[in-house]
Amino acid sequence: MEKLLQNLNDFLGKVEETKKRYGIARDIQIVAAGKFRSPEELKTLYSTGRISAIGENRVQEFRLNYTPELMWDIIGQLQTNKVKYVVGKVRLIQSLDRIPLAEEIERIAGMRGVRQECLIEINSGSEISKGGIEANEITGFVEELKNYPHIRLRGVMAVAPRGLPEDKLEDCFNRAREAFESIDFIDGFDILSMGMSEDFRIALKCGSNMLRPGRILFDGESSIIKY
Ligand SMILES: *Cc1c(COP(=O)(O)O)cnc(C)c1O
């Protein structure tokens, strides 16, 4: 566990360096992407107070790991029939990307008397994520979601494809940022979640205020190709 805490410290140092390099003053939230990690590792990370949530990709894993003492986000594609396992338990569903999913979140949240906070996932051509709406569809999508009082939209999430040349990666993040900024008529629409182990520096440069590192926290820097 010492190594894990060291990795977290190293990562936070790199985030600070990057903020300085690009003159970034805003606060940056860290969501630890916890796929296939042990509950002990997740607890250790969360108990530092330096990360704001654990991001789970798969509902099955979320159900195994869930404990109310930690904060949780869903960051992977969410199947409609699994919505009932997460609504009201997670801080954010980061992967809202289709109306039938919104309908089910609305239905379950209404039944439970909660308002579920969600990010809209923008498709950037990533193989990891595959989900997401097109950036230019965001206004229409948000319009449709007006009729869902138990969903509160908080911002945008994007997963960039791996291995892009730096300029293409920037294009990708900038498209997501522009979509995010175009929604300036919703109170509290203020989260732009982008950036993982390999690409967090470019994501910060392009306006991210929420990073979702995984391997760089759990495995350390060594295995990561970085920009
Ligand atoms: C796996 C995953 C991450 C973390 O990826 P790393 O490359 O391990 O940092 C972040 N976001 C999503 C949606 C993921 O699936």
Give the pLDDT of residue 194: 98
Residues of the chain predicted below pLDDT 50: none
Indicate whether this model's pTM tops 0.95. yes
Residue nearest to atom 2 of ligand 1 (CA): 33
Give the pLDDT of residue 223: 67
Three-class SS state of 199: coil
Which ligand 1 atom is at minimum distance from the Cα of 159? 13
Determine phi and psi for 37, rounding to 5 degrees.
Answer: -105, 160
Three-class SS state of 176: helix
Pocket test for ligand 1, best of 124, 212, 215, 221 (most atoms within 8 A of CB): 212
Q: Which residues line ligand 1 (CB under 6 A)?
A: 33, 35, 57, 75-76, 128-129, 159, 196-198, 212-216
Give the pLDDT of residue 175: 96
Give 122's Cβ-side CA count (13 Å radius).
Answer: 25
DSSP letter (8 states) at residue 133? B
| DSSP H or E segment with residue 53 | strand 53-56
Ligand 1 centre to CA of 35 (Å) is 8
Residue nearest to atom 7 of ligand 1 (CA): 197
Assess contact for 206 and 166: CB atoms under 8 A: no
Domains along the sequence of the chain with CATH: 2-220 (3.20.20.10)
Dihedral angle over CA of 117, 144, 189, 96, nearest 10: 50
